[in-house]
Amino acid sequence: MNAFADIAAEWRKAGLLPPEGTPVPKPSEYDPAAYIRQQRLAKWKEYCPPEFQKPIERDKIPNLKAWDEADQWNGTHPGVWLWSHDTGLAKSRMLWRLFGRLHVKQAKNVTRITGFHLAEEYHDCLNKNATYFFYRNVMGYEVVMLDDLDKMKLPEETDGFAEKNEAARNARMLRELFDKFYEAHTPVLVTANEPIAWFEERIGPSGARRMREVCREISFQ
């Protein structure tokens, strides 16, 4: 593949160009900025669950104070950590709202991955002795959104961190990942059913300190 094709492939991955074969408007009708926004909006609609694409009804938001506080995040470092023990309190709705704003309106390269799939991808790379690619792939985005971060196996307590099982390896991965977020000043949005204090009991104080440096907690409870 030549250099121009490589660049085009990267732009398509970032949503700056449509997939190959997509019809392009005639030059007289072509507004590049509007066309890019249209393509990004289409990509957001493809990824975002239909129930989160509906108009916001503020009177149905359980915690408007938390909602409005999270809604002020502009996609910069430090990020936000949206948590509540209960489900159905609009954390995921806010994630997709901010994803759309940053990806479509601000043209940022954003990724969203669940805690479960984050662990799966890590272990796949770990088994291939290629964890470098795992971290490179996650850090290759301008904004990272980790949805349901607590949905992965983690130690029940921090009695030693020997890599003897999946839970311990996940704990190490989170510590290393948030170290990298901190060093790179990566904007990160987390949703979870637990606060950072819960993770501190499972990954240790140093990992939790990095989480607090990378994200500001907002309770949707």
Which three-class secondary structure state does DSSP give residue 18?
Answer: coil
In a domain, 38, yes or no: no
55/11: higher pLDDT: 55
Strand duo 188-192 + 110-114: pairing: unpaired
- How many domains is the chain partitioned into structurally? 1
Q: What is the pLDDT of residue 44?
A: 83
Alpha helix (H) residue ranges in 48-163: 64-71, 91-100, 115-127, 131-138
Integer angstrom CA distances of residue 101 from 26, 72, 110, 132, 137: 28, 11, 10, 30, 22
First-to-last alpha carbon distance for the chain, in angstroms, is 51
In the predicted structure, residue 18 carries a pLDDT above the cut 80? no
Range(s) of the domain holding residue 152: 50-219
Lowest mean pLDDT among 2-16, 101-115, 154-168: 2-16
What is the mean predicted confidence (pLDDT) over 2-27? 66
Q: What is the pLDDT of residue 46?
A: 85
Q: What is the pLDDT of residue 158?
A: 52
The secondary structure element, H or E, covering residue 45 is helix 32-47
In the predicted structure, residue 207 carries a pLDDT above the cut 60? yes
CA–CA gap between residue 50 and residue 96 (Å, rounded): 11
In the predicted structure, residue 198 carries a pLDDT above the cut 90? yes
Closest CA to 211 of 169, 181, 172: 181
Which three-class secondary structure state does DSSP give residue 148?
Answer: coil
13/53: higher pLDDT: 53
Q: pLDDT, tens digit, for every residue of 99-157?
A: 999 998 899 999 999 999 999 999 999 999 999 999 999 999 999 999 999 999 999 86
In a domain, 15, yes or no: no
Mean pLDDT of the chain: 89
Identify the band that residue 1 occupies on the pLDDT scale cut at 50, 70 and 90.
Answer: very low
In a domain, 6, yes or no: no
In a domain, 4, yes or no: no
And the tokens for 166?
């999946």
What is the mean predicted confidence (pLDDT) over 191-216? 97
In a domain, 2, yes or no: no
- 189: domain CATH number is 3.40.50.300
Alpha helix (H) residue ranges in 165-221: 166-184, 196-203, 205-214
pTM for the full predicted model: 0.81
What is the mean predicted confidence (pLDDT) over 173-199? 98
In the predicted structure, residue 219 carries a pLDDT above the cut 80? yes
And the tokens for 147?
């949805």
Q: pLDDT, tens digit, for every residue of 26-51?
A: 655 667 777 778 888 888 888 899 99
The burial of 128, by beta-carbon neighbours within 10 Å (0-12 exposed, 13-18 middle, 19 or more buried), is given as exposed
CA–CA gap between residue 221 and residue 218 (Å, rounded): 9
CA–CA gap between residue 153 and residue 163 (Å, rounded): 13
In the predicted structure, residue 212 carries a pLDDT above the cut 50? yes
